[in-house]
């Protein structure tokens, strides 16, 4: 296939246990994994930042370990994503001053959102400085529904991240029903936010966004996240590896390639992220997609000493 130079392919995180066990060279040091990953892919979606604001020195190491043209998409902290959040998951300076309920959960206020956003963005400065920061991913809670919320509630966060590039993954199906989809896409388009398209199980459930939607709401970037097609696992799995336990077949990879190229006709860049992080399914699928797209991969040699 041609015309795939503006399609970046990667995985959601680079350090999942299944990757370490089955994909990375045996006995590879943890500090060497990102550099090895970057020999296979041109981008990665950082997942750890959903659980904790990263230390700036760690982010410096991420940048130093990767080539000049490598791209990091970064998932915003779960508090900013309207998820139930324990106070212990906030930076220490916030833990001492926020009010938590009897279960240790924090309520998001405008002031807290402003402060957390500022600290979060400051931690990413090494990536921004080095031209390696892609887009920020806001993965909204399924509880954030049009029945109880409005997208306008995100306007403060949108304003704070406007210079960075923002992509929004909705996790409540009601935002994209025929009744709400036009208004949802219009809001994202007016605010130059990328709608996150998904590949997900073909099941009508309020937490599953239909895979049939292909929307490009900003000309700068289109986003496609692949969650696998295992409906039972998606809805009942207790861990990330269980929920997204799916190995894409050859025909399905070709479907993803065609879909990626379709998005690439409307956006300057397409970010395709495999989130099927059971075992080594994600990096293997991402590699097969790059091959289907005709992308030349800088695959390192596999030696007996490493494997």
Question: Is residue 307's pLDDT more than 70?
Answer: no
The SS3 assignment for 44 reads strand
Residue 133 β-bridge partners: 72
* pLDDT (tens digit per residue) in 1-56: 445 889 999 999 999 999 999 999 999 999 999 999 999 999 999 999 999 999 99
CA-nearest of 218, 172, 214, 171 to 191 is 218
Q: What is the pLDDT of residue 298?
A: 63
Q: What is the pTM of this model?
A: 0.93
The SS3 assignment for 151 reads helix
Task: Please state, for a pLDDT cut of 70, what percent of the chain lies above it.
Answer: 95
* pLDDT (tens digit per residue) in 158-171: 999 999 999 999 99
The SS3 assignment for 166 reads strand
Domains (range + CATH), the chain: 7-292 (3.20.20.410)
What are the distances in angstroms from CA 252 to CA 20, 146, 209, 255, 258?
Answer: 25, 32, 18, 5, 10
Contacts of 148 (CB under 8 A, 6+ apart): none
CA-nearest of 152, 273, 160, 165 to 218 is 165
Q: What is the pLDDT of residue 1?
A: 42
């Amino acid at each position: 296939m041609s015309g795939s130079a503006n399609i970046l392919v990667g995985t959601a995180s680079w350090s999942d246990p299944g990757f370490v066990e089955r994909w990375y060279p045996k006995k590879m040091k943890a500090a060497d994994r990102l550099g090895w990953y970057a020999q296979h892919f041109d981008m990665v979606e950082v997942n750890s930042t959903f659980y904790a604001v990263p230390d700036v020195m760690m982010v410096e190491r991420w940048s130093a370990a990767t080539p000049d043209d490598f791209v990091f998409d970064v998932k915003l902290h779960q508090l900013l994503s309207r998820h139930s959040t324990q106070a212990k998951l906030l930076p220490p300076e916030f833990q001492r001053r926020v009010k938590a309920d009897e279960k240790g959960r924090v309520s998001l206020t405008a002031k807290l959102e402003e402060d957390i956003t500022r600290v979060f963005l400051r931690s990413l400065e090494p990536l921004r400085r080095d031209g390696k920061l892609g887009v920020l991913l806001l993965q909204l809670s399924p509880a954030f529904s049009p029945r109880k919320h409005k997208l306008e509630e995100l306007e403060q966060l949108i304003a704070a991240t406007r210079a960075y590039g923002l992509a929004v993954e909705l996790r409540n199906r009601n935002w994209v029903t025929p009744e709400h989809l036009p208004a949802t896409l219009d809001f994202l388009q007016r605010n130059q936010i990328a709608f996150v398209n998904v590949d997900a199980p073909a099941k009508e459930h309020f937490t599953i966004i239909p895979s049939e939607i292909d929307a490009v709401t900003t000309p700068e970037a289109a986003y496609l996240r692949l969650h696998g097609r295992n409906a039972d696992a998606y809805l009942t799995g207790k861990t990330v590896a269980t929920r997204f336990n799916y190995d894409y077949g050859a025909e399905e990879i070709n479907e993803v390639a065609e879909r990626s190229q379709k998005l690439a006709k409307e956006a300057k860049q397409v970010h395709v992220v495999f989130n099927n992080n059971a075992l080594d399914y994600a990096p293997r699928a991402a590699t097969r997609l790059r091959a289907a797209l005709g992308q030349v991969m800088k695959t390192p040699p596999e030696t007996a000493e490493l494997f």
